[in-house]
Homo-oligomer: A and B are copies of this chain.
């Protein structure tokens, strides 16, 4: 088993984590290493649930902060083991999403033996795959007590800026129906691909809106992320399936967002279709008015970092939202480089995030 030394400089810990392959569903090795590194620490109670590890202080503080990160990565593309770039970036799969953040967590979990708030450190599996496999969701279902708290920080990459809330995301399959026929006698059929044309036109012309929620701007988007139709080169397609992905601002509840998407589809004037949701993940309000969030934001602001901004992508902060726990994203790395083949994280951001959390948790 790989031995993780939590006392080394945080960037070396990040590098060691990148060098343990942990593609979603294959987190055994990294979970073993994290568990083994945390278990000897007497100020922490360590609980393992599958490949998720929860480590809690029990100092009797009036407030508890949950600080969470996922251990898995998207598939490796020749970018493990990691290396240092010429300008000092950590380069490798997961450098951004999100082993640099996990390194910050582990480094502080070991160092902060007497934080000013009780802390629940959460390391979980299978964030990069279908929602129902998500390790944080599994803990919330099976052991909600393990993730209870007054405020949560998710160490997803934000370049060290606090990002509040997140857009929601839903996917719907619009199945446009037609009638099959031999393409030599197309007039006997009804071409489902042609019938879907007005829907694509509406999507192409749609101007996504930006909504301000609790002072932060959330940019929406509606996209066809998949399209398929046709079974053979000489058959008029009797079905065309357009998969829509609607990213919606936390101004809307899930039900409201569904109505908005359905109205957009209906506005195309297509008929003869079914709409089936395949994914429904609510948005999260920024929650920056929560007292702990405000104190965290103030603490980070004192280090000269930019003001909190909106998180455009959906993250597990929404899961905390569902549990009634205000949550923000805060971690090293540029989210635009997440999943990129040249994923890389500046060491300075890893240090800044560690320092930002440490200052707040000891003040």
Contacts and interface: CB of A to CB of B under 8 A. Distances in A.
A289 interface: no
Contacts of A313: 182, 184-185
A186 interface: yes
A263 interface: no
Interface residues of A, dominant DSSP: mixed
A303 B126 CA distance: 75
Contact of A200 (B194, B219, B247, B279): B194
A233 B279 contact: yes
Given A185-B336, A196-B200, A247-B186, A229 B227 contact: yes
A223 B182 CA distance: 11
Interface residues of A, number: 51
Given A184-B247, A187-B219, A227-B230, 13 more contacts: A182-B339, A183-B225, A184-B221, A184-B313, A185-B336, A186-B208, A191-B203, A193-B226, A197-B197, A197-B201, A225-B232, A225-B234, A227-B229
Work out how many copies of this chain go into the complex. 2
Contacts of A237: 224-227
A223 B191 contact: yes
13 contacts: A183-B223, A185-B336, A186-B223, A191-B223, A193-B224, A200-B200, A224-B230, A225-B230, A225-B233, A226-B237, A227-B240, A233-B245, A234-B245
A13 B314 CA distance: 67
Contacts of A191: 203-204, 223-224
A167 interface: yes
A312 interface: yes
Interface string A226-251: 11111011111100101101010000
Interface of A: 167, 169, 171, 182-188, 191, 193-198, 200-201, 203-204, 208, 219, 221, 223-230, 232-237, 240, 242-243, 245, 247, 278-279, 312-314, 336, 338-339
A152 B257 CA distance: 64
Given A200-B197, A208-B186, A229 B224 contact: yes
Contacts of A197: 197, 200-201, 203-204
Nearest to A197: B200
Please list the 8 inter-chain residue pairs (A to B) with the smallest Cβ-Cβ separation, ordered nearest first.
A226-B230, A184-B313, A197-B200, A194-B204, A186-B221, A193-B224, A197-B204, A197-B201
A191 B193 CA distance: 18
A214 to B, nearest CB: 19
A247 B183 contact: yes
A167 B185 CA distance: 11
Contacts of A229: 224, 226-228
Contacts of A226: 193, 229-230, 233, 237
A245 to B, nearest CB: 5
A168 to B, nearest CB: 10
